[in-house]
Amino acid sequence: MIDINLYEQIRHLYSVEGMSQRAIARELGISRNTVRRYCHGEHVPWEKTPRTRSSPVTDPIRDIVAKWLKEDKDAPCKQRHTAERIHQLLVADHNFAGGKSTIRKLVKELKAENVKAFVPLEFDPGEAAQVDWGEATFYLAGKKTTCYLFCYRLCYSSAPFVVPFPSQRQEAFLAGHVMAFNFFGGVPKRIFYDNLKTAVKEGWGRYVKAEQSSFVALRGHYAFRSVFCNPRAANEKGLVENLVGLKRRNIFVPVPRVDDYNQLQQETSRRCLQYIKHHHIRYKPLSVQDAFTKEQAHLLPLPLREFDYALTTTAAVQLDGLAKFQGNRYSVPIHLAGRRVTIKGHPLKVDIHYRGDLVASYERCYRKGQTFMQAEHYFPLLVTKPRSLYNAAPLKNASLPAAFARARDLLLAEEKDQELAKIIKLTLIFGLEAVETALAQALTQGVVNAETVRYLLDQSQTSKPLPSLLGIGPRVEPPDLSRYDQLLGGAGR
């Protein structure tokens, strides 16, 4: 390669001055081959010609490593060949004498050859959204817990919404959609998914033949279309793929410590709103906030009635007042024994209905073989069976107010089961909360019996101020007593 100044002289003498190649070589004291190469301007000195060089160290094992990397495409992500492992295998099985850095360069080169390009996508406002699941760790009431993140992202504005759930079951999948639609105030025309079992019943990708009936009902209610991506095609929904990692790094670092899932959801929603308000994605003309404001006007309107995403079933109430749901048992008011109730399993709670009325509600438990009771469900029966109070499971296993539990222990220790039955009967008249207050007062006075509790309850009832009756009903004028004096005095006669 020659100097740029020399190249300039060659071109000037040949093109401007019209000198021959032999004369230019003699004038500049250089080879005629150099003059022949550069005089026509076909070659330039600042452009390097790529060279193909052989590599005697890696060429013999290049095809072997390429074959291993190709087989890795069908292997689990965490069980694929690393450069370190490849070097170990080559040394052990192929007598490789090269170093680890040589293999690292070869692996990097081979992977670069197999990189698949993709077409950048662009969406219109309100056209589409993407959905995916992720995992994160947090502390629930001091216990380390894994939650599943329902991640939803609008394609035009990139506005995100994330919901943490205890599981990825059907009801959580449906609930995530309903919460996302309510959060954004509208529905996109299309939503992109992986081949989720909660959505796909048969087939995959563009060859999906059947979808889950509950998911079809959700689609019909909110009038959107589903689009399923091809297997291992993360680029088809890259926005939400990035959202999973983004929210895990920003919301769950440091690891949150909360009392319940509702508290975690409040923090997650707050962070999503903060992202929408303050973030501007590089190479996009509008901020996320401005783009979302534009997109919101193009979303489909919400239906007048919210979709019921609960897992609904019916169950017979056993004679012990328990109804079975998802491998667990839940108590209901004892008068419903022998009847059928409707149970709705929400992602975070279980509601039990009888003829349209809510009769019991519990926190959702995903462990099986558990029994949950509310003591007040059995109070009408316990009143008639005072001898059972010593071993009644609802009084032992169910959580009771502090004063009621203390009074129970005191009375049963003194074998006053009849007295405890009378106090329980008072809860049927005045309610558990009022009896709890009266029991707390009785305990401070050191006298715990039904008569004292009844007296305190009556006192609390009579001490309440009566409502004013002034201005209500017809107005009555006060009597004129002087008329009676006239009658007694004989004025009337």
Residue 187 and residue 162 share a domain: yes
Q: What is the pLDDT of residue 74?
A: 77
Determine the Cα–Cα distance for residues 137 and 153; give it in Å rounded to an integer.
Answer: 21
Four-CA torsion 465, 471, 474, 476, nearest 10 degrees: 80
Residue with tokens 């998914």: 193
Whether residues 349 and 332 share a domain: the answer is yes
Q: Of the ranges 79-83, 182-186, 315-319, 411-415, which one carries the lowest mean pLDDT score? A: 79-83
Same domain, 271 and 365: no
Identity of the residue numbered 383 = V
Q: Which two tokens stand for residue 33?
A: 């081959």
Lowest mean pLDDT among 109-123, 322-336, 347-361, 404-418: 109-123
d(CA 392, CA 395): 6
The answer to whether position 457 is within a domain reads yes
Instruction: Enumerate the H helices of 45-169 as residue ranges.
Output: 62-71, 83-94, 100-113
Please check whether residue 488 lies inside any domain of the structure: no
Q: What is the CATH number of the domain that holds 229?
A: 3.30.420.10
Going by DSSP bridges, is the β-strand pair 340-345/257-258 parallel, antiparallel, or unpaired?
Answer: unpaired
Name the 3-class secondary structure at 67: helix
Measured in whole angstroms, the distance separating CA 244 from the mean position of its chain's CA atoms is: 10
Residue 275, in any domain of the structure: yes
> What are the tens digits of pLDDT across the range 230-260?
765 555 555 656 667 776 777 788 888 999 9
Q: Which of the 8 DSSP states describes residue 334?
A: G
Residue finishing a domain among 325, 356, 372: 372
Looking at the fold, whether 291 and 339 belong to one and the same domain comes out as no
Instruction: Examine residue 17 and state whether it is found in any structural domain, yes or no.
Output: yes
Q: Residue 276: what residue type? A: I
Question: What pLDDT score was predicted for residue 127?
Answer: 93
Do residues 240 and 140 both lie within one domain?
yes
In this structure, the strands spanning 128-140 and 190-193 are parallel
Number of independent structural domains in the chain: 5
Distance of CA 118 to the CA centre of its chain: 29
Judgement on whether residues 355 and 254 belong to the same structural domain of the protein: no
29 belongs to a structural domain = yes
Name the more confident of 170 and 116: 170
DSSP secondary structure code for residue 187 in this structure: B
* CA–CA distance, 321 with 336 (Å, rounded to integer): 7
Q: Given pLDDT bands bounded at 50, 70 and 90, which one contains residue 56?
A: confident
468 Cα distance to chain centroid: 52
**Which of 85, 113, 141 is at the close of a domain?**
113
In a domain, 134, yes or no: yes
**In-domain check, residue 478:** no
Is 392 in contact with 417 (CB distance < 8 Å)? no
Retrieve residue 448's tokens. 């715990």
Whether the bond between 254 and the residue before it is cis, its omega within 30 degrees of 0, is yes
| Separation of alpha carbons 36 and 43, rounded Å | 10
Task: Looking at the structure, tell me whether residues 134 and 229 fall in a common domain.
Answer: yes
Per-residue pLDDT at 170 exceeds 60: yes
| pLDDT on residue 120 | 75
- Helix 288-296 and helix 261-278: axis angle, to 10°? 100
234 and 164 within one domain: yes
Q: Are residues 218 and 289 in the same domain?
A: yes
Q: Which of 214, 255, 244, 208 is nearest to 227 (CA)?
A: 208
pTM equals 0.72
C-alpha 245 chain-centroid distance: 13
Where in 253-409 does DSSP place strands (E)? 257-258, 311-316, 322-325, 328-331, 340-345, 349-354, 357-363, 371-372
- Two structure tokens written together for 59: 């060429």
* 319 and 292 within one domain: no
To the nearest 10 degrees (0 to 180), the angle between helices 213-222 and 170-184 is 10
Q: Which domain holds residue 242?
A: 128-296
Least confident of 15-19, 157-161, 226-230, 407-411: 226-230
Which residues make Cβ contacts (< 8 Å) with residue 25, sequence separation at least 6? 31, 32, 34, 35
490: in domain: no
Q: Are residues 227 and 267 in the same domain?
A: yes
Whether 94 and 202 share a structural domain: no
Q: What one-letter code names the amino acid at 370?
A: Q
